[in-house]
Chains A and B, each alone.
Chain A
Amino acid sequence: EADIYQTPRYLVIGTGKKITLECSQTMGHDKMYWYQQDPGMELHLIHYSYGVNSTEKGDLSSESTVSRIRTEHFPLTLESARPSHTSQYLCASSDGVGDTGELFFGEGSRLTVL
């Protein structure tokens, strides 16, 4: 069973607010990812990390930032939320070599920006 946790599960906030979505995994995985998923649509990679102090942007520019100070923790921050940021955010981790390992996903954080 995967041990990857996201908080909050649901969040409703006003435009312009700063928010941080938390993601923690207890599996010791080096690789961690943030995806954005709208209903019925494909997952879009926002950020990823291959280890401590390593972060990269994905194919979707979401005006967010991430940090990887500890192996188990990979928070995502939106400095100024907008209605276009309303979506589901999924965190995942993997221990695969060259990304061929399976991804373990958290339960997701559903964000609504008013």
Chain B
Amino acid sequence: GQNIDQPTEMTATEGAIVQINCTYQTSGFNGLFWYQQHAGEAPTFLSYNVLDGLEEKGRFSSFLSRSKGYSYLLLKELQMKDSASYLCAVLDSNYQLIWGAGTKLIIKP
């Protein structure tokens, strides 16, 4: 079966750096997405990786290793507003999105 694994919950301190991991086992691969979802709100797009390596976008970076079936989202200079769930999703060979359950990130002062 197809599977996306990410930690259920993480806690970090304001101003620090946190890395949220995502491992996947899917039938084929056509890219990996990260979305941010604040409580009670809709998910919003953060990043898309289809090639190996690191993509940087401001305070957020996303890394992909296709051979390892692994990605991470790196958040720097954490702010209280970064408290949210972070969803990892993979496009399989049929171009269907397979979603992880999300990682709830709690930022403490």
Instruction: Name A residues whose Cβ lies closer than 8 Å to a Cβ of B.
Output: 40-45, 59, 90, 98-100, 102-108
Contacts and interface: CB of A to CB of B under 8 A. Distances in A.
Contacts, number: 52
B35 to A, nearest CB: 8
A58 B52 CA distance: 29
Given A42-B4, A43-B99, A103 B43 contact: yes
A107 B89 CA distance: 19
A108 B96 contact: no
Given A40-B104, A43-B43, 8 more contacts: A45-B96, A102-B33, A102-B48, A103-B43, A103-B97, A106-B42, A107-B41, A108-B41
Contacts of A106: 42
Contacts of A107: 41-42
B92 to A, nearest CB: 10
B91 A100 contact: yes
A43 B100 CA distance: 8
7 contacts: A40-B8, A40-B102, A43-B97, A99-B30, A100-B31, A103-B35, A106-B42
A43 B48 contact: no
Nearest to B95: A99
A102 B50 contact: no
Given A43-B87, A45-B97, A100 B45 contact: no
